[in-house]
Amino acid sequence: MVTELLHLDAAHPDQHEIDRAGRILREGGLVAFPTETVYGLGGNALDPEASKKIYAAKGRPSDNPLIIHIADMEHLYPIAAEVPEAAIRLADVWWPGPVTMIFRKKAIVPDETSGGLPTVAVRMPNHPIALALIRAAGGYIAAPSANTSGRPSPTRAEHVMEDLDGRIDMVIDGGEVRIGLESTIVDFTEDVPCILRPGYVNEQKLCEILGEVTIDPAIVSADGMHDRKPRAPGMAYRHYAPKAKLSIVTGDMESVINKINELARRAALEGKTVGIIATDETAAHYTEGHVRDIGSIDSDKEIAQHLFSVLRDFDDDGVDIIYSEAFDTPRMGQAIMNRLLKAAGHSVIEA
Ligand code: AMP
Ligand code: MG
């Protein structure tokens, strides 16, 4: 299959081209597209064959359900059986935006899309290309992140092409995404809303709107959830992993720099190529290896936006081992560290 790479203006996408991409989706094809979080791999969510194609293209386990993307509130009710008032309040503030909500599903949602679960995940993305494409496709696009299963999520169209060229019909290039981490997932099927995956919209912001929220214990357990089964099936899989072994070094800034320099020197003596994930403030202090600057310590926006592409860059560098600083920033820290810890297989070294 030849994959068409279509460049569109993110703010004002050409409607004629959007209609063409929408037609591919209506006819059962696959189109990758930008959202504000990461690039998604889209197929018609109500067509079981399209969902099967998504799993095949990504190499994704079929019990890991897809998020259905909608562009208009009235499209929620045909797929969600019970929509509590709290969810409407959250949608009022954050849709379109980086929040996914879980509801009981209606029969119209194929089991292939929901991974066999009785529930459905729904999001309204905040991106002009995504919203226009969803409408052009008939209202419902199932879209997981547009990476090969296990690799870091794509934040640029080139990442999608790296993983899926030749496997899908089209990739829409709308430039680099704004947020860079996948959506916050909130489950509304129990009495108290529960965070199943941390994201840009953090626990505190959710509490302000919802009053009470809980957080799935599996995603905050220090041992990498070996003893608990996360409620979002995808959180159980190895994910985001670069090819090289990654370890996170924690402690105060000076100790971390010293420790990473020591580890990097030792690795170099053993003939290994070392990668280091550093910040604007620390990068110049490293004396060894490929140092990649993820952004400023004070900007979790920059760190989140660059995390997945930095991990991919190390694959291109062909390093053998990677050491990263920890980025426990106040706003998005939980989401950033959740992804980084997964990428590291929970390998943490105390400085
Ligand atoms: P991705 O779109 O690649 O970020 O993956 C979607 C994430 O949403 C995965 O972690 C899924 O397991 C999770 N998810 C999708 N549908 C559901 C659902 N009905 N219940 C719980 N988690 C879900
Ligand atoms: Mg994913």
Mean pLDDT taken over the chain: 95
Grade residue 230 by pLDDT with cuts at 50, 70 and 90. confident
Give the list of residues 6+ apart from residue 256 with CB closer than 8 angstroms, or none: 249, 250, 282, 325, 326, 351
Query: What is the pLDDT, as a whole number, of residue 235?
Result: 83
Q: How far is the CA of 106 from the centre of ligand 2 (A)?
A: 24
Domain with CATH 3.90.870.10 in the chain: 4-227
Band (pLDDT 50/70/90 cuts) for residue 151 is very high
Cα–Cα distances (Å) from 332 to 94, 164, 204, in that order, read 16, 29, 11
Q: What average pLDDT does the segment 135-154 reach?
A: 96
Quick one: pLDDT at residue 225? 52
Q: Which two tokens stand for residue 152?
A: 């870091």
pLDDT tens column, 67-94: 999 999 999 999 999 999 999 999 999 9
Task: Check residue 219 and give its pLDDT.
Answer: 83
pLDDT bin (cut points 50, 70, 90) of residue 228 is: confident
Indicate if ligand 1 lies below 6 Å from the C-beta of 80: no
Q: Give the model's pLDDT for residue 218.
A: 86
Helix (H, G, I), strand (E, B) or coil at 79: coil
113 lines ligand 1 (CB under 6 A): no
Q: What is the pTM of this model?
A: 0.96
Contact 324, 225 (CB under 8 A): no
Q: Which atom of ligand 1 is nearest to the CA of 119?
A: 19
Rounded to an integer, the average pLDDT of 8-35 is 98
For CATH 3.40.50.11030, the residue range(s) in the chain are: 245-350
With a 6 Å cutoff on the Cβ, whether 334 touches ligand 1 is: no
Read off the pLDDT of residues 252-302 as tens digits, 9 standing for 90 and up: 999 999 999 999 999 999 999 999 999 999 999 999 999 999 999 999 999
Could you say which architecture CATH assigns to the domain 4-227?
A: Alpha-Beta Complex (3.90)
pLDDT band at 222 (very low <50, low <70, confident <90, very high): low
d(CA 171, CA 42): 10
By DSSP bridging, strand 119-123 and strand 31-33 are unpaired
Give the model's pLDDT for residue 237: 74
Residue 240's closest CA among 175, 304, 167, 165?
304
- The protein residue whose alpha carbon is closest to atom 22 in ligand 1 is 232
Tell me the pLDDT tens digit for each residue of 154-173: 999 999 999 999 999 999 99
- Strand-pairing partners, residue 325, are 249
Residue 333 in contact with ligand 1 by CB distance below 6 A: no
| 343 close to ligand 1 (CB < 6 Angstrom) | no
Ligand 2 center to 244 CA (angstroms): 20
Which pLDDT does position 15 carry in this prediction? 98
Q: How far is the CA of 150 from the centre of ligand 2 (A)?
A: 8
What pLDDT is recorded for position 224?
Answer: 55
Element housing 171 (H / E): strand 170-173
Paired sense of beta strands 274-278 and 214-215, if any: unpaired
Q: Looking at ligand 1, which residue's alpha carbon is closest to its atom 20?
A: 232
pLDDT at 321 exceeding the cut of 80: yes
Domain 245-350 is found in CATH 3.40.50.11030 = yes
CB 127 within 8 A of CB 10: yes
Alpha carbons 308 and 250: distance in angstroms, whole number:
20
pLDDT tens column, 35-57: 999 999 999 999 999 999 999 99
146 CA → ligand 1 middle, Å: 14
What per-residue confidence (pLDDT) applies to 303? 98
pLDDT at 238: 72
Distance CA 225, CA 172 (A): 36
Distance CA 1, CA 221 (A): 43
68 Cβ closer than 6 Å to some ligand 1 atom: no
